[in-house]
Amino acid sequence: MAPDEKALRADLVSARFLSGEDRGRWKFEKLEWPHLFVTVNARDGRAFTLRLHCGGFPGQGPTGTFWDMASGARLAFARWPVGGERISLAFKPGWKDGNALYIPCDRESFEGHTDWPAKYPQLIWKPAKGITHYLEVVHDLLQSRDYACAPA
């Protein structure tokens, strides 16, 4: 097993990750290396599955999108979370053709944003926090007042 996969597997059984599951924040679905599938819960009871590419973990942060487990494809843009400015910026289907969330801890989105470390230091990928860092950022957005609803 490669070091990045081994590191991710260790992270998935860490107290930090399991605590998030116990508190109903997210749920591990499956790992098909290098993709991790985790469902994150929103404040309206909806659940959104993330497909996270974790190659290079933890030195490189993951990159991911919303995923439809039933169809095995990216979630239709019309079913992505909607809301105010923060939600619209973070979850914008037009960014990277919907293949990366527009958040500072997403490795694809971080590229080219040299101002982000100064503007959003708490959101920049931190290898020591592990996969829960990415999940916490998404969970916080889905729990915020800025999150309006998810189209059915």
Contact by Cβ (8 Å): 134, 64: yes
What is the predicted pLDDT for the residue at 150? Answer: 55
Report domain extents, the chain: 3-143
- pTM (two decimals): 0.94
- Give the sign of the dihedral formed by CA 65, CA 83, CA 28, CA 106: positive
The residues, any chain, with a CB within 8 Å of residue 117's CB and separated by 6 or more, are: 124
Cα–Cα dist 74/96, whole Å: 13
**Structure-token pair, residue 47:** 């659940």
The pLDDT assigned to 111 comes to: 87
| 8 A C-beta contact, residue 82 and residue 88 | yes
pLDDT in tens, 5-60: 999 999 999 999 999 999 999 999 999 999 999 999 999 999 999 999 999 999 99
Q: Which residues are catalytic?
A: 105
